[in-house]
Amino acid sequence: MSTIRGPEHSADGAPSEVDLARPALGERWAKSLARTAYSPMARRRIRRELDAHVAALVALLRAEEFTADPAGSVGDWLVASRYTGQRSLQATVDLLGPALRTDPALTAVPDLADRVTFVLSALSAGYANAVRNQIFEEQEKVRNSLLLTLTETQQELHDSEARFRQVFASSAAGIAILDLPGDLVEVNPALVRMLGHEADVPDEVFTPDDLAELRTSCHRMLVAMEESSRFEHRFTGAGGEEIWANVVLSVVRDSDDRPKYYVAVTEDVTDQRRLREYLRFQALHDVLTGLPNWQSFLPHLEKVLGGLRVPDTITLCYLDVDSMAIINDGLGYHAGDRVLTEIARRLTAVVSSETAMVARAGGDEFVILVKDSPTTPSISQLAEAVDTALAAPITIDGHRSTAVSACMGFVRTSARGTDAATLVRQAHSTLRGAERKGKRQWAYYDHDQDKINRPRLVLLAALPGALATGDIYTEFQPVDNTATIANLRWELQDDTVLHHTDCLDHADELGHTIPLAHALLTQACTRASEDPDSLPVLVRLSPEYTRDPDLTRTIGTILTTTGLPPNHLWLSLSLQGMTDVEGEDNLAVLKDMDVHVLLHDLTGNTEELSIVEQHTPHAVILAPTPDSKIAKAATAALIPLLHETGALVIAEESTPDQSKWYRSIGVDLLLPTQPAPDEY
């Protein structure tokens, strides 16, 4: 350490005030430092402390016993105050050196230049030491931080590994880890259990085929640069059983972002898949017979039609089992189900040698679709084979047996320009034509006949709408000043007209009899009730409505509503509707209600005559008499018998000669003939 003697003091031994005040130097030092670094301290505080440091340095230089070591604290202060810029120390030395050496207050200090050099050296040493200590502290902090981070990372890694191990071991999902080439590294217990193994030896968990498919999926995902892949896969269990699983395959990358492992997470969905397949089967198959249902058959038919090429043909058979209602009502519905199940089996056997599908269309209806080949039987042979198969006895309950027959409609076509719905309609229409001929009948689709029948069916379907819109209405015509006949009239869009009997027949066939008859009776009774002096109104009903159980209640309601006296209603019932008890009951009750009941379409058979004799109607209307000698003689012989019951005898006019003949044999009243139905 260098020691230099200080200057002489003043007479009282104390330095003067001017020697201790260095405001200009402190201000310049503050500005110089501000240009080299930023200090977070307030500017006023910085100036105050720099002034103190200047005074301390001056006092140090003037001390009698000189030592420069305390100047090191100024260097410490610079570092602590964040003046550690690249030029902070140099700016301090450059400023203080000349300023202290030329300070007038220090001119008397001996060896001033040397003392300033020692002071600045001590300041610089203090500065350097403080910077070194600061660096050491910061390095220690960094080291401690790194150690802490490493410790925390190791702990997190340990925790992560523990969590993974816990998930891996206890997860309900099966997990397999594969290396980059696709070899198994590890499997968890859930996967072992899922596949039915007892040990978790990776090489024994998957079959070679399953492992090969997993490898293929891994490599495919790697080539496609996908991070994960999801698919459903069929595995083979330890016992050879099918096990379906949802598989999520993911890539695990290393620290350099390169693929290192694959993780396959599997979930057993065997039960869900079986349920899904069961529900799909149930949705597309008949529950009772197991045959495809309508929802399954129609798409199949469309597919077959779309795949046909010239000269390919197909055969469609629409089949309706006869008399299933008798079996159900007589032997019970369990017997009916047994019969339908056996029918399904036999129909399937009939076409087992063909490319065919048998489906249940609903109820007791079935369809058979055959893709024809050179060995496919003809239509008649196929119909005979079905008849033969169904005619064999069907055992029920082990001791009773029955047999059935069926009506069938066949269509054989190349299907060019035909869609599935049209083909089904053609087969079904053909079936209905066969059923009109009786039971155990079959028919082949006739295009020309279909062109004739189709407009009639369209007309039938349009009848309810026509009634609702008023296109079908009632017209009235006086008859020989005795009664007014109410007849239905349907004016079609092409200006053709459908008359009373045809309207009734169409309504009976469609099942729309009650609304039509109700409208007819309401209009007829309303019209007749409007004029108390009007003639009785004559209304002819169809066979279907004649035996309607609610007929008498409906008539009573209409008569009450309209106020028409019952004897002003001449209600003509059809003798064809008297074939069961309801028809005759209606006749008897209507007579008791004082309604004048007539019976029309009398042909003269003994059953009809018995009804007339038993119920003594107000009148009978003869069915048209054929123009033959025997028929006319029989009709003429009927007239006296009918008159003996007290009934009026009515006939329909046709030709003038026939009208004259009717009068000659004693017919009491002639009704105007309904025009023949127009072509439609």
Sequence ranges of the chain with CATH classification 3.30.70.270? 288-445
Residue 133 CA to chain centroid, in angstroms? Answer: 76
Residue spans in the chain of domains classed CATH 3.20.20.450: 457-671
Write out the two tokens for 78: 């610079």
Contact 528, 480 (CB under 8 A): no
Question: Residue 599: what pLDDT?
Answer: 95
Task: Compute the residue count for the chain.
Answer: 680
pLDDT value at position 3?
37
Which amino acid is it at 224? Answer: A
The amino acid present at 413, given as its one-letter code, is T
Return the CATH class of domain 4-138: mainly alpha
Task: Tell me how far apart the alpha carbons of residues 545 and 557 are, in angstroms, rounded to a whole number.
Answer: 16
**Domain 457-671 part of CATH 3.40.50.10490:** no
Does CATH number 3.30.70.270 belong to domain 288-445? yes
The pLDDT assigned to 679 comes to 39
Single-letter amino acid, residue 474: T
Give the Cα separation of 462 and 209 in Å (integer): 64
Q: At what angle do helices 294-306 and 420-435 cross, to 10 degrees?
A: 120
CATH code for residues 171-274:
3.30.450.20
Encoding tokens for residue 577? 């509707």
- CA-based nearest residue to 382, from 296, 302, 443, 293: 443
> In which residue ranges of the chain is CATH 1.10.490 found?
4-138
Tell me the C-alpha distance between 264 and 183, whole Å: 12
What pLDDT does 418 receive?
A: 79
Burial of 38 (0-12, 13-18, 19+ CB in 10 A): exposed
Under 8 Å CB-to-CB from 109, ≥6 apart: which residues? 6, 7, 61, 62, 115
Continuous H helices in 368-481? 379-391, 420-435, 447-469
| Inter-residue contact 76 to 130 (CB < 8 Å) | yes
Give the integer Cα–Cα distance in Å for 350 and 315. Answer: 14
Q: Where in the chain is the domain with CATH 3.30.450.20?
A: 171-274
Q: Which residues of the chain register pLDDT less than 70?
A: 1-23, 198-203, 415-417, 674-680
Q: What is the pLDDT of residue 675?
A: 58
